[in-house]
Amino acid sequence: MPKIHNIIPAEVRKPQFIEFGKIPVNQYSRTIEEEKQNYSSADFVRIYRDMVIIREFETMLNLIKTTNEYRGISYNHPGPAHLSIGQEASAVGMAYHLDTDDFIFGSHRSHGEIIAKGLSAIHKLDEETSYSLMKNYFGGNALKVVEKGFQGEIRDLAVHFLLYGALAEIFARENGFNKGLGGSMHAFFTPFGIYPNNAIVGGSGDISVGAALYKKINRKPGIVVCNIGDASSACGPVWEGICFATMDQYRTLWEGEYQGGLPLIFNFMNNLYGMGGQTMGETMGFGILARLGAGVNPEMMHAERVDGYNPLAVIDAFRRKIQILREKKGPVLLDTLTYRISGHSPSDASSYRTKEEIDLWQKEDSIITYGSLLVSSGITTQDVLDEIREDTSALMTHILELAVDDDISPRLDLDRDPDLIGRMMFSGESRDRMEEGKPETLIPLDENPRVKSIRNKERYYLDKDGKPVSKAKLFQLRDAIFEAIIDRFYKDPSLVAWGEENRDWGGAFAVYRGLTEALPYHRLFNSPISEGAIVGTAIGYGMCGGRVIAEIMYCDFLGRSGDEVFNQLPKWQAMSGNILKMPVVIRVSVGSKYGAQHSQDWSSLTAHIPGLKVIFPATPYDARGLMNSALQGTDPVVFFESQGIYDIGEMFHRPGVPEEYYEIPIGEPDIKRTGSDISILTIGATLYTAIKAADILSEKFGLSAEIIDARTLVPFNYTPVIESLKKTGKIVLASDASSRGSFLKDMAQTITELAFDYLDAPPVVVGSRNWITPAFEMEEYFFPQPGWIIDAIHQKIMPLEGHNPQYDFSDEKTIALNRDGI
Amino acid sequence: MATPVTMPKLGQSVETCIITRWFKSTGDKVSTGDILFSYETDKAAFDMESPADGILLDIFFNEGDEVPVLANVAVIGEKGEETGSFRPGSSRPEDSPRTGTQTRTGIQADADIQPGAGIQANTGIQAGTVSQTAADTRLRISPRARRLALEKGLDYSRLRGSGPNSRIMVSDIEKLLLTGTGDIIPDHTEDKEYTDEAVSNVRKLIAKAMYNSLQNSAQLTHHMSADARKLLAERKRNKEAIASGSTTVELTLNDMVCWCVVQALKKFPEMNSHFLGETIRKFKRIHLGMAVDTKRGLMVPSVRNAESLKLTDLAQKLKSVAEACRKGNINPELILSTSASFTVSNLGSYGVEMFTPVLNLPQVAILGVCSIINRPADLGNNIFGFIPYIGLSLTYDHRAVDGGPATLFLKEIRKQIENFNPGQEIY
């Protein structure tokens, strides 16, 4: 909502028509003779070879899957193999112009793309670079395997390396590109510019946008190609990614060299089917996929359908589209028409298509027709092509032999080290900045109006006379988060932030007020209302090497970014074999007052997913220290904030929140008040409810409560909690999350295991009701109240003399509520 | 003006008593002499009579509560009268006591004398202790409490805990460690073929005394019979005298036997003694103990200085102490085993023909009195007829007395019976 753009009624209300231009469909028409200007004979033949290698690789996989044998080698591969037999020309054409600076992202059906991209990169790399790159990858283990007994050129060795690394990955071997942790649907090799393929349909649709942002914002060379299927065009993240990638602001608001469109091609590998659903004629309405570009922006995304059965047509299209990106007029939408001869997977009986249809496409098989063209045009001879096919079969046999040999290609030794994968979940590095250089800012930090205003605030909630400081003078929790973030913006040139209303407005809850003045557009900008893409783009930005803060305005909107938060953000560090880092902080604001869809604490959902660090501070001191740690680290962090306490001052840490930089280790609970009779462990803003309950326990019942603020859900050090229990023997766990499935239940269970002999009563969880959140006026019946904690203690832990409970914590009630599902 | 009901001080050594049962509830109308509640010391059990007429305004202690002697237990007065000033202790939050239906026995370890340790809820939401059903007496103990109990080697199997559903918490175990006592729960499970009832303190005392007696002495019993015609004649005469109004004192056979025993003891002081291990304490006076059956169990009150009593006085004294035992207001000093120098236990009225009474240590002998049986006897002149004989079973401690003197003593009792002569003009 930038003020420099006035929206003039007279303009927007005037009658007019939207004119759509033409979208080219299969317009490539050059003859082979014309193309001889552009390719040497060797180029022509190499294109053929690349297609054959892909075909043979997948034929081999298909035989292994369906017959457990390839050319006398037996092997059983129980995992997936989504093959793209028939699509080789599209893959090779896509990759032809790309080098290692160009990143491709893929889908579950991307063996062809990674091989094509790898072969293209190998061709362009000088041999020395190529060799050192292989030698340095995981200690050169894969190289050693293919190098043994190899005689020939480094380039050919690199082809062996590429095929072996990919196949070993598919077969879950430690020598795979990702230590066997990615597998068929996630095999990738970043040194060749091959970024993650994605087993979630459309998963790359927003991640690749983040990668393009990374290139643009950090002025990195190269483009990004998002290879996804035609059916994924119906997925929300793809549409959100397209919207995110085509925002006007890149051209209207971003300045200087940052002005202009993203270097990104959405390349729909359009094989006409989504599993068995026909996108043309059945499950979609576009007829021709390229039509989708028409409505997105005035450039219609430079959309075009290209004949993906002709490698030269695809190469030509990519050449032209790359030029558009260089002119900063991206992004581009390509509809690369192809056909999958193989089934969706080896178990596919092709019940959704006729044999006649398959036969028709097989007659036009790109390898056969392209080979015939080369022979008929005199570029090469059939003998050469036959030799290529024979050599490729022999090569594939050799690679398969290496990849299935348990001695040559062992799996990760989880017997010797059962925690091996566990340790790969987080990279755990501490890095001031993810990129070198001077961070781009608009004004010096100490001239920032908010920084100046904060300087005059009281950093403890009481003044010198012990009186509460007024809100206007109080250093609040939102100020603490701001301090950590602006500090990092001045340290790490790669750091960027986006989300809804982040710029100008300063975030819906004023955490970012002051950042607009400090940062150019490309470091802080407003996103479309696309929670999926807000997180998905951050993932892409992070995995390419940048640090990013994405904001989800209300926790309730996390559902909109479900796939990104649950399937993508947590997985890629381990699935890459620790090649990728994920320095991504997702700020999630937990609401109140706004009813059922704006008041939910879903921290438990994120804590359940392995691979995320989950933080939920409740005090300014903790918020700043933990945000500092989150921004110093290289792991994905979901950072929960509570809207109810954005304005709270520091009540625990004396003499107040420090002005200098400090970090609080992620995963350490903090004892906010010591006590001896009962422990209360809280998550988030419920800390203050527990404090009130502790006061009642003390005043009315003479009991001294020890209050522990979890601060972090994952990781979590239970030792201080167990130590507290050794003292008290009793514990209540409280948070604003609905009690069923709350992370507190997990904590209670773990505490019971760890401290069973110290327990004098069962750990009791006090959470919100398993209801919709009612209106603000009725919230006291929904969110845990101090009295509920007292009631729970009275009924479940120790009867309190003279106490009349209001909330029924009886066993009968618990059983009844669970029976009824509420 | 309201009247407090105060826990009496029953003997020098008694500091607290436990209320075993309430017969009245708050708000009940009571009259002087009505039984308000039962209570017991570690040695005996008693009933408390109402000291006044009026309404039972307030109850400060519940069943199972341990009450210091001289503390106010309840208040009787007119409706609306203030009772707070009678409440023992400071002004802690008030609670109504449990109702009388919840039976608690044993000793509440809580040395804190505050009443109303239970919880009362009036919102319909009950804490675990209240909602617990009688059948649900499964042992509940927190892991922490169990750990401590095992460390200290404590048996917690019959402890009633203070947590929800009577869960034993660590504080209960700590209390048990500190005071040696706890809140004991009887184990009764309805679907069992038997019931396990908690042993009352009186029962425990008897058990301990009897077991101790058989373990720690060398006792044996001699049996003998005595011609009871003179006793029966005296009994008949006494009945006639009562009918004619010339006396009000009823003489039982037991009274007469006891008198005979006293006379025999005068001649055998070695039988009127305590065996104390290193010494034998021979009493100059005769303190006659008498076994009395009460609903709480066997009690043995003593009649002090019986050697100086006339038969009628002895009869009256015996009657009075027996009555006190049955009522529960016997002076505890009189039921100590050391209080009597010799004991008589009479089972004759039940038809017992012979038995072996157990010594009431440290007394050296006890006489069992058995049923009267008609036996054929030579009446002289070759005439045979039936004569009523009363059976006598003397148990003595062979450590203190040998068989010869014991037999001679028994013969002396027989002689006293057969030649019964109270030496007094009774009627």
Tell me whether 0.90 is exceeded by the ipTM.
Answer: no
Nearest neighbour of B145 by CB, restricted to A760, A799, A802? A760
Nearest to B147 among A757, A761, A812 (CB): A757
Among candidate residues A82, A160, A302, A598, the one labeled active-site is A598
CB-based contact B95 A729, cutoff 8 Å: no
Listing DSSP states for B61-114 in one string gives: --TT-EEETT-EEEEEESTT---GGGSSSS-PPP-PPPPTTS---S-----S--
pLDDT digits (tens, 9 = 90+) for B209-264: 888 899 889 999 999 999 999 999 999 988 988 898 888 889 999 999 999 999 99
The reply to whether A704 and A790 lie within a common domain is yes
Nearest to A795 among B117, B122, B164 (CB): B164
- In Å, how far are A252, A253, A619 from A249, measured between CA atoms? 5, 5, 36
Within-domain flag for A572: yes
Instruction: Look at residues B209, B202, B205 and name the one whose alpha carbon lies nearest to residue B363.
Output: B209
CA-to-CA distance for B173 and B42, rounded, in angstroms?
22
Domain span holding position A757: 670-820
Is A271 within 8 Å of A227 (Cβ atoms)? no
Task: Kindly give the interhelix angle for A311-326 and A88-95, rounded to the nearest 10 degrees.
Answer: 30
Reported residue count of chain B is 427
Contact status, residue A527 vs residue A498, Cβ threshold 8 Å: yes
The residue in chain B having the minimum alpha-carbon distance to the alpha carbon of residue A725 is B144
Q: Is A609 on the interface with B (CB under 8 A)?
A: no
Q: Do B143 and A795 touch (CB under 8 A)?
A: no
Per-residue pLDDT tens digits for B350-391: 899 999 999 999 999 999 999 999 999 888 888 888 999 999
Rounded to the nearest angstrom, the minimum Cα separation between B95 and chain A is 7
Nearest Cα residue to B261 out of B365, B358, B348: B365
Helices (H) and strands (E) in chain A, counts: 29, 21
* From B136, B293, B378, B398, the catalytic residue: B398
B interface with A, Cβ–Cβ below 8 Å: 92-95, 116-117, 119-123, 125-129, 131, 142-145, 147, 162-164, 167, 169-171
A802·B119 Cβ contact <8 A: yes
**DSSP strand E in A591-666: where?**
613-615, 637-642
Task: Enumerate the residues of chain A whose CB falls inside 8 A of the CB of residue B162.
Answer: 798-799
- Residue B98 reports pLDDT greater than 50: no
Q: Once rounded to an integer, what is the mean pLDDT over residues A130-143?
A: 95
**A801: nearest CA in chain B?**
B119
Is A618 within 8 Å of A688 (Cβ atoms)? yes
In angstroms, rounded to a whole number, what is the distance separating the alpha carbons of residues B281 and B363?
9
Query: Vertex A622, ends A616 and A628: CA angle to 5°?
Result: 90
The answer, for A797 touching chain B at a CB cutoff of 8 Å, is yes
Q: Which of A796, A804, A807 sits opposite B121 (nearest CB)?
A: A804
Six token digits for residue A819: 């029976």
Tokens of residue A119, six digits:
């072969």
**Long-range contacts: A473-476, Cβ < 8 Å, 24+?**
A474/A647, A474/A649, A475/A620, A475/A649, A475/A650, A475/A656, A475/A657, A476/A620, A476/A646, A476/A647, A476/A648, A476/A649
Distance CA A167, CA A183 (A): 9
**Is A653 among the domain residues?**
no
**Average pLDDT of the segment spanning A602-623:** 98
Q: How many CA atoms lie within 13 A of A227 on its CB side?
A: 35
CB–CB contact A760 B169 (8 Å): yes
Which residues of B are less than 8 Å from A798 in CB distance? 162-164, 169
Predicted pLDDT of residue A516? 95
Contact across the interface for B123 and A801, Cβ inside 8 Å? no
List of chain A residues whose C-beta atoms are within 8 Å of the C-beta of residue B93: 801-802
For residue A253, pLDDT over 50 is answered with yes
Q: What is the tens place of the pLDDT at every residue in A150-190?
A: 999 999 999 999 999 999 999 999 999 999 999 988 889 99
CA distance A766 to A792: 7
Q: Which two tokens stand for residue A258?
A: 């940052």
Gap between the Cα atoms of A226 and A211, Å rounded: 10
Buried b (16+ CB within 10 A) or exposed e, A43-67: bbbbbbbbbbbbbbbbbbbbbbbee
Same domain, A366 and A403: yes
What is each CA distance from B385 to A54, B232, B376, B378, B381, in whole angstroms?
133, 17, 5, 7, 11
B205-418 fold:
Chloramphenicol Acetyltransferase (3.30.559)
Minimal-distance CA residue of chain A relative to B151: A757
The answer to whether residue A804 neighbours chain B at the CB level (below 8 Å) is yes
pLDDT digits (tens, 9 = 90+) for A401-418: 999 999 999 999 999 999
Using CB atoms, which residue from B93, B119, B144 is nearest to A760?
B144
Nearest partner of B206 among B344, B44, B324, judged by Cα: B44
| Pairing outcome for strands B280-282 and B273-275 | antiparallel
**Contacts with B117 from chain A: Cβ below 8 Å:** 801
pLDDT band at B137 (very low <50, low <70, confident <90, very high): low
Residues on chain A touching B92 (C-beta within 8 angstroms): 801
Which residue, among B321, B375, B402, has the nearest Cα to B44 in the 3D structure? Answer: B321
Q: Please say if B398 is a catalytic residue.
A: yes
Overall residue count recorded for chain A in this entry: 822
CATH (domain of A717): 3.40.50.920
- Judge whether A381 lies within some domain: yes
State the best of B90, B120, B140, B142 to mutate against chain A, taking most chain A CBs within 10 Å. Answer: B142
On whether both A590 and A674 belong to a single domain, the answer is: no
B62, B112, B119: best mutation site toward chain A, by most A Cβ within 10 Å?
Answer: B119
Q: What is the dihedral of CA A226, A230, A236, A238, to 10 degrees?
A: 20
What pLDDT is stored for residue B298 in this prediction?
A: 87
What is the sign of the dihedral through the CA atoms of A231, A196, A145 and A101?
Answer: positive
What is the least distance, in Å, from the CA of A759 to any CA of chain B?
Answer: 5
Residue-wise pLDDT for A484-511, tens only, equals: 999 999 999 999 999 999 998 888 889 9
For A8, counting Cβ atoms within 10 Å of its Cβ (0-12 exposed, 13-18 middle, 19+ buried), the class is: exposed
Spell B189-214 as b/e; 16+ CB within 10 A means b: eeeeeeeeebebbbeebbeebeeebe
Q: Which two structure tokens, joined as six digits, stand for A208? A: 């690749």
Q: Does A281 touch chain B (CB under 8 A)?
A: no
Q: Are B155 and B177 contacting, i.e. CB atoms less than 8 angstroms apart?
A: no
Please tell me if residue A796 touches chain B, with a CB cutoff of 8 Å.
yes
Q: Does A756 touch chain B (CB under 8 A)?
A: yes
Residue type, A661: Y
Are A473 and A587 members of one domain? yes
End-to-end alpha-carbon separation of chain B, Å?
50
Q: Are residues A730 and A607 in the same domain?
A: no
Tokens of B86: 């009678």
CA atoms of A210 and A106, how far apart (whole Å): 14
Domain for residue A210, yes or no? yes
Across the interface, of B125, B144, B164, the residue whose CB is closest to A729 is B144
Q: What is the rounded CA–CA span in Å between residue A497 and residue A485?
A: 9
Tokens encoding A506: 């300063």
Whether domain B119-198 has CATH 4.10.320.10: yes
Mean pLDDT for the stretch of residues A610-639: 98
Residue A440: inside a domain, yes or no? no
Q: Which amino acid is at B170?
A: V
List the CATH code of the domain at B1-111.
2.40.50.100
Tally of domains in chain A: 3
Instruction: Give yes or no for residue B188 having a pLDDT over 60.
Output: no
Rounded distance, CA B187 to CA B173, Å?
19
Q: Which of the four pLDDT bands, split at 50, 70 and 90, describes residue B157? A: confident
Q: What residue type is A436 in one-letter code? A: E
Rounded alpha-carbon distances, angstroms, from residue A175 to A108, A132, A137, A189, A486: 21, 17, 10, 12, 42
Using the beta-carbon criterion (under 8 Å), do B117 and A801 form an inter-chain contact?
A: yes
Domain ranges (residues) in chain B? 1-111, 119-198, 205-418
Distance, in Å, from the CA atom of B121 to the CA atom of A529, rounded to the nearest integer, reads 52
What's the gap in Å between the CA of A822 and the closest CA on chain B? 19
Model confidence at A770, in pLDDT bands (50, 70, 90)? Answer: very high
Determine, yes or no, domain membership for A732. Answer: yes
Residue A438 CB contacts under 8 Å (≥ 6 apart), including other chains: A493
Which are the contacts of A619, defined by CB distance < 8 A and separation ≥ 6?
A477, A648, A650, A651, A652, A653, A672, A687, A709
Q: Which two tokens stand for residue B398?
A: 């062979």
Same domain, A402 and A456: no
**pLDDT at residue B95 above 50?**
no
Same domain, A619 and A676: no
* 3-state class (DSSP) for residue A620: helix
Three-state DSSP state, B158: coil
CA B356, CA B223: separation in Å to the nearest integer?
9
* Distance between A773 CA and the closest CA of chain B, angstroms: 24
For residue A522, the domain's CATH number is 3.40.50.970
From chain A, pick out residues whose CB is under 8 angstroms from the CB of B142: 729, 759-761
Q: Does A624 touch chain B (CB under 8 A)?
A: no
When mean pLDDT is compared across A352-361, A479-488, A614-623, B206-215, the lowest value belongs to B206-215
- Nearest beta carbon to residue B169 from set A761, A794, A795: A761
Contact B123 A761 (CB under 8 A): no
Last residue of a domain, one of A645, A660, A685: A645
Mean pLDDT score across all residues of chain A: 96
**Chain A hits for B163, Cβ within 8 Å:** 760-761, 797-799
Bridge partners (DSSP) of residue B21 are: B38
- Alpha-carbon distance of A182 to A543, in angstroms, equals 15
Please state, in angstroms and rounded to a whole number, the distance separating the CA atoms of residues B377 and B371: 18
Taking residues B114-143, report their average pLDDT: 49
pLDDT, position B191: 57
- How far is the C-alpha of B362 from the C-alpha of B279, rounded, in Å? 11
The alpha-carbon gap from B187 to the nearest alpha carbon of chain A, in Å, equals 23
What is the SS3 assignment for B236-269? HHHHHHHHHCCCCCCCCHHHHHHHHHHHHHHHCH
Which strands, in side-by-side order, build the sheet including A332-337?
A103-105, A224-229, A264-270, A332-337, A304-307
Share of chain A above pLDDT 90, in %: 94
- Region B46-54: mean pLDDT is 87
In order of B31, B302, B314, the CA distances from B46 in angstroms are 18, 17, 24
